[in-house]
Protein backbone atom coordinates (compact mmCIF):
# COMPACT_ATOMS: atom_id res chain seq x y z
CA UNK A 1 0.00 0.00 0.00
CA UNK A 2 1.48 3.32 -1.04
CA UNK A 3 -0.51 5.77 1.11
CA UNK A 4 -3.24 4.96 3.64
CA UNK A 5 -4.50 8.56 3.59
CA UNK A 6 -5.03 8.39 -0.19
CA UNK A 7 -6.93 5.12 0.15
CA UNK A 8 -9.21 6.49 2.87
CA UNK A 9 -9.83 9.63 0.83
CA UNK A 10 -10.57 7.56 -2.29
CA UNK A 11 -13.14 5.29 -0.63
CA UNK A 12 -14.75 7.99 1.51
CA UNK A 13 -15.11 10.52 -1.33
CA UNK A 14 -16.33 7.83 -3.73
CA UNK A 15 -19.16 6.95 -1.33
CA UNK A 16 -19.97 10.63 -0.70
CA UNK A 17 -20.13 11.43 -4.44
CA UNK A 18 -22.10 8.24 -5.08
CA UNK A 19 -24.66 9.36 -2.49
CA UNK A 20 -24.70 12.88 -3.94
CA UNK A 21 -25.44 11.44 -7.40
CA UNK A 22 -28.27 9.36 -5.95
CA UNK A 23 -29.75 12.44 -4.27
CA UNK A 24 -29.61 14.35 -7.57
CA UNK A 25 -31.37 11.45 -9.33
CA UNK A 26 -34.11 11.41 -6.68
CA UNK A 27 -34.43 15.19 -6.87
CA UNK A 28 -34.86 14.97 -10.65
CA UNK A 29 -38.16 13.15 -10.01
CA UNK A 30 -39.52 16.15 -8.10
CA UNK A 31 -42.49 17.50 -10.13
CA UNK A 32 -41.03 21.00 -9.99
CA UNK A 33 -37.94 19.88 -11.89
CA UNK A 34 -39.83 17.62 -14.28
CA UNK A 35 -41.64 20.68 -15.61
CA UNK A 36 -38.38 22.60 -15.95
CA UNK A 37 -37.85 23.50 -19.59
CA UNK A 38 -35.54 26.30 -20.67
CA UNK A 39 -33.09 27.02 -23.50
CA UNK A 40 -30.22 25.36 -21.63
CA UNK A 41 -31.56 22.03 -20.31
CA UNK A 42 -34.65 20.01 -19.46
CA UNK A 43 -35.28 17.26 -16.96
CA UNK A 44 -36.82 14.23 -18.62
CA UNK A 45 -36.60 10.58 -17.67
CA UNK A 46 -35.61 7.75 -19.95
CA UNK A 47 -34.36 4.29 -19.18
CA UNK A 48 -31.11 3.27 -20.79
CA UNK A 49 -30.18 -0.40 -20.99
CA UNK A 50 -26.97 0.43 -22.85
CA UNK A 51 -24.11 2.85 -22.43
CA UNK A 52 -23.45 6.25 -23.99
CA UNK A 53 -25.26 6.94 -27.28
CA UNK A 54 -27.10 3.64 -27.06
CA UNK A 55 -23.99 1.49 -27.43
CA UNK A 56 -24.30 -2.04 -26.01
CA UNK A 57 -28.07 -1.73 -25.70
CA UNK A 58 -29.61 -4.54 -23.63
CA UNK A 59 -26.12 -5.71 -22.56
CA UNK A 60 -26.75 -5.02 -18.87
CA UNK A 61 -24.75 -8.01 -17.61
CA UNK A 62 -21.75 -7.13 -19.80
CA UNK A 63 -21.84 -3.46 -18.75
CA UNK A 64 -22.22 -4.44 -15.09
CA UNK A 65 -19.25 -6.80 -15.25
CA UNK A 66 -17.22 -4.13 -17.06
CA UNK A 67 -18.01 -1.68 -14.25
CA UNK A 68 -17.07 -4.23 -11.58
CA UNK A 69 -13.72 -4.94 -13.26
CA UNK A 70 -13.07 -1.21 -13.74
CA UNK A 71 -13.78 -0.56 -10.05
CA UNK A 72 -11.53 -3.42 -8.95
CA UNK A 73 -8.70 -2.31 -11.25
CA UNK A 74 -9.07 1.34 -10.23
CA UNK A 75 -9.08 0.49 -6.52
CA UNK A 76 -5.97 -1.66 -6.97
CA UNK A 77 -4.30 1.20 -8.88
CA UNK A 78 -5.10 3.67 -6.09
CA UNK A 79 -3.79 1.27 -3.42
CA UNK A 80 -0.54 0.50 -5.23
CA UNK A 81 0.30 3.78 -6.99
CA UNK A 82 -1.32 6.89 -5.58
CA UNK A 83 -0.34 9.04 -2.65
CA UNK A 84 -2.48 11.74 -1.10
CA UNK A 85 -0.27 14.35 -2.76
CA UNK A 86 -1.28 13.02 -6.22
CA UNK A 87 -4.26 15.36 -6.30
CA UNK A 88 -5.41 15.15 -9.92
CA UNK A 89 -5.08 11.37 -10.40
CA UNK A 90 -6.75 10.84 -7.04
CA UNK A 91 -9.59 13.22 -7.93
CA UNK A 92 -10.04 11.51 -11.30
CA UNK A 93 -10.12 8.11 -9.60
CA UNK A 94 -12.80 9.28 -7.16
CA UNK A 95 -14.95 10.81 -9.91
CA UNK A 96 -14.66 7.76 -12.15
CA UNK A 97 -15.34 5.29 -9.32
CA UNK A 98 -18.39 7.28 -8.17
CA UNK A 99 -19.83 7.40 -11.67
CA UNK A 100 -19.14 3.74 -12.39
CA UNK A 101 -20.54 2.67 -9.01
CA UNK A 102 -23.68 4.79 -9.45
CA UNK A 103 -24.46 3.39 -12.89
CA UNK A 104 -23.60 -0.13 -11.70
CA UNK A 105 -25.99 0.05 -8.76
CA UNK A 106 -28.81 1.28 -11.01
CA UNK A 107 -28.14 -1.50 -13.53
CA UNK A 108 -28.24 -4.12 -10.79
CA UNK A 109 -31.25 -2.58 -9.02
CA UNK A 110 -33.41 -1.72 -12.05
CA UNK A 111 -31.81 -3.46 -15.05
CA UNK A 112 -31.13 -0.04 -16.60
CA UNK A 113 -29.85 3.42 -15.71
CA UNK A 114 -32.10 6.45 -15.50
CA UNK A 115 -30.92 9.30 -17.71
CA UNK A 116 -32.59 12.65 -17.07
CA UNK A 117 -30.52 15.63 -18.24
CA UNK A 118 -31.30 16.82 -21.76
CA UNK A 119 -29.31 19.68 -23.24
CA UNK A 120 -31.65 21.90 -25.26
CA UNK A 121 -29.06 24.00 -27.07
CA UNK A 122 -27.42 21.06 -28.86
CA UNK A 123 -28.51 17.67 -30.20
CA UNK A 124 -26.82 15.43 -27.65
CA UNK A 125 -27.51 12.24 -25.74
CA UNK A 126 -29.56 12.41 -22.55
CA UNK A 127 -27.37 11.63 -19.55
CA UNK A 128 -27.26 11.50 -15.75
CA UNK A 129 -25.10 12.79 -12.91
CA UNK A 130 -22.97 9.63 -12.85
CA UNK A 131 -22.19 10.08 -16.54
CA UNK A 132 -21.00 13.61 -15.73
CA UNK A 133 -18.65 12.22 -13.06
CA UNK A 134 -17.15 9.76 -15.56
CA UNK A 135 -16.82 12.44 -18.26
CA UNK A 136 -15.16 14.86 -15.83
CA UNK A 137 -12.73 12.21 -14.61
CA UNK A 138 -11.57 11.38 -18.13
CA UNK A 139 -11.38 15.05 -19.15
CA UNK A 140 -9.42 16.12 -16.07
CA UNK A 141 -7.07 13.16 -16.42
CA UNK A 142 -6.50 13.93 -20.12
CA UNK A 143 -5.57 17.54 -19.34
CA UNK A 144 -3.41 16.44 -16.39
CA UNK A 145 -1.44 14.08 -18.64
CA UNK A 146 -1.20 16.76 -21.33
CA UNK A 147 0.13 19.37 -18.89
CA UNK A 148 2.60 16.89 -17.36
CA UNK A 149 3.86 15.89 -20.82
CA UNK A 150 4.37 19.51 -21.83
CA UNK A 151 6.12 20.23 -18.53
CA UNK A 152 8.47 17.26 -18.99
CA UNK A 153 9.33 18.31 -22.55
CA UNK A 154 10.16 21.83 -21.40
CA UNK A 155 12.34 20.49 -18.56
CA UNK A 156 14.24 18.15 -20.89
CA UNK A 157 15.27 21.02 -23.22
**CA angle centred on 103, ends 100 and 104, rounded to 5°:** 80
Asked if 63 and 102 count as a contact pair (C-beta separation under 8 A), the reply is no
Active site residue 37: no
Q: CA nearest 112: which of 57, 66, 55? A: 57
Active site residue 131: yes
Of 58, 86, 115, 123, which residue is the catalytic one?
115
- The C-alpha atoms of residue 12 and residue 121 are separated, in whole angstroms, by 36
Asked if 74 and 134 count as a contact pair (C-beta separation under 8 A), the reply is no
CA distance readout (Å), 47 to 13, 24, 121? 27, 16, 22
Active site residues: 115, 131
Amino acid sequence: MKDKKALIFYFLMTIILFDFGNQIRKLSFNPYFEDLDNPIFSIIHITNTGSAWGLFEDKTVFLSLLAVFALIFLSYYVVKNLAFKDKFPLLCSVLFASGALGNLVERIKFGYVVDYIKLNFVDFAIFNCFDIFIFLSVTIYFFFVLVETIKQKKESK
